[in-house]
Amino acid sequence: MGTGVSGLVTRLRAAGCVFAEEEADLLVEAARDADELEAMVRRRVVGEPLEYVVGWAAFCGIRMVVEPGVFVPRHRTELLVEEAARLVPGNRAVVVDLCCGSGALGAALAVRRDVDLYSADVDPAAARCARVNVAEAGGRVFTGDLFEALPDDLRGRVRVLLANVPYVPTDAIALMPPEARDHETRATLDGGSDGLDLMRRVSAGASEWLAPGGTLLFESSERQVDAMSSVLRADGLEPRVVRSDDLGATVVTGRAQDTGR
């Protein structure tokens, strides 16, 4: 087996896999037999994301189920979970994970806090993965377009609204790594001409769903911070920016007023 793994590492490294040794171990672990291992290696060396090949992605120390085409949660997005955990009150708060993809954000947050979790995505494949990933937390998953997917009785009750919407400008998609550009569904990446199309839609509807003092959270690039903050302010939310040098991540939040609903 040692020789086989060594040869596998050589093949992966030749294909450009930077962490070839770690990937080889994961592929060997995931494969049920030699034939399946060979099929998985062939998928990987032609550029298919490792997460799709093995069927899961690591996020906040948890293995999240992902199917081909479903957005793969990024390490930097863990800042959204960290900030959401800070904002969740001690009681069982209502949390919504909108554009949930695999459901990774809500699932990771539920490990840290006792929450009443609702997740939603327009993509049936993403919703299918999310149902698996949030099952242990008792989360509920809905399929539909943004707020239209949510139960009506959540209006005015959401303490934390996570919305990891696509925010890559259309013209920048071509500059993304091939693993994302060629394998993840375009709708999970493309945020429109300035990257803020979906962000604007969520911000515009958020006040109707947030509880007094509730908070909306977005991931952002540094260059979009000012524009996102302006959108939130115009929609009656108080913007705040959170940064992490360790994660190379930026989060923009919008807090609803405590009174006046």
User: Count of H helices and E strands in the chain?
Assistant: 10, 9
pTM, 2 dp: 0.90
169-210 tens-digit pLDDT = 898 898 888 888 888 888 888 888 999 999 999 999 999 999
Any idea which residue has 């949390």 for tokens? Answer: 95
Split at pLDDT 50, 70, 90, the class of 2 is: very low
206-259 tens-digit pLDDT = 999 999 999 999 999 999 999 999 999 999 999 999 999 999 999 999 999 987
Q: What is the pLDDT of residue 3?
A: 44
Give the bridge partners for 118, in sequence order. Answer: 96, 140
What is the residue-wise DSSP string for 90-106? SS-EEEEEET-TTSHHH
